Amino acid sequence: MRIFFSIAISCLFFFGCTNNDLPVSNQAITYTANQQAEFAVKGMMCEHGCKAYLSDEISKFSGVADCEILFEQEKLVVNYDKNILTANEIVFLVADLKDGQYSLEVLENNPSSNADSEQNLSSSQEDEISVSDFGFSIPNLSHLFTNWL
């Protein structure tokens, strides 16, 4: 039994501490906003949390140039590239967030007012992105088990 326990503890010490550094790209993907859609949003509980969460997640969708949530009116305005994404796809993507907590209904779907100038908007709000991975690690408890070996 001691041998099994010693082997298990040894394995945890060797494999418990890991360094998971993920490569991060500093390049922002730029989309052409040639379509604008307005949606009615249902399922938002609070302005601070839900609004920030939805805004961040929708901004990550491929093809979305920018989005704005008007919490009081329960309204979402999205500028996107119609060659990559459609308004119905945005509805389905949002429905998959947080196990279907949020739902959208298309109110208007018009060409963007700046479609003539083909303004390029960035989908990233920051130049740099930091990623941190919190791995599982076990503290060094070998001093407690030295008498058992």
Mean pLDDT of successive 10-residue segments in the chain (149 residues)?
Answer: 73 54 51 87 87 90 90 91 90 89 86 51 49 60 63
- Please tell me whether residues 56 and 104 are part of one structural domain: yes
10 Å Cβ neighbour count for 67? Answer: 21
- Please tell me whether residues 10 and 47 are part of one structural domain: no
Which pTM does this prediction carry? 0.56
* Residue 32 to residue 117: CA distance in whole angstroms: 10
Q: pLDDT at position 49, please? A: 86
- One-letter amino acid at 128 equals E
Q: pLDDT at position 126, please? A: 47
Instruction: For residue 107, tell me if it sits in a domain.
Output: yes
- Please tell me whether residues 45 and 85 are part of one structural domain: yes
Q: pLDDT at position 6, please? A: 75
- One-letter amino acid at 131 equals V
Q: pLDDT at position 1, please? A: 72
Domain that holds residue 139: 2-21+133-145
* Residue 144 to residue 38: CA distance in whole angstroms: 62
The 3-state DSSP class for residue 111 equals strand
Element (H, E) at 137: none
- Please tell me whether residues 7 and 41 are part of one structural domain: no
Q: pLDDT at position 21, please? A: 45
- Please tell me whether residues 13 and 40 are part of one structural domain: no
CATH of the domain at 60: 3.30.70.100
Phi, then psi, of 57 in degrees rounded to 5? -70, -40
Enumerate long-range contacts of 55-58, CB under 8 Å, 24 or more apart.
Answer: 57/94, 57/97, 58/90, 58/93, 58/94
Instruction: For residue 128, tell me if it sits in a domain.
Output: no
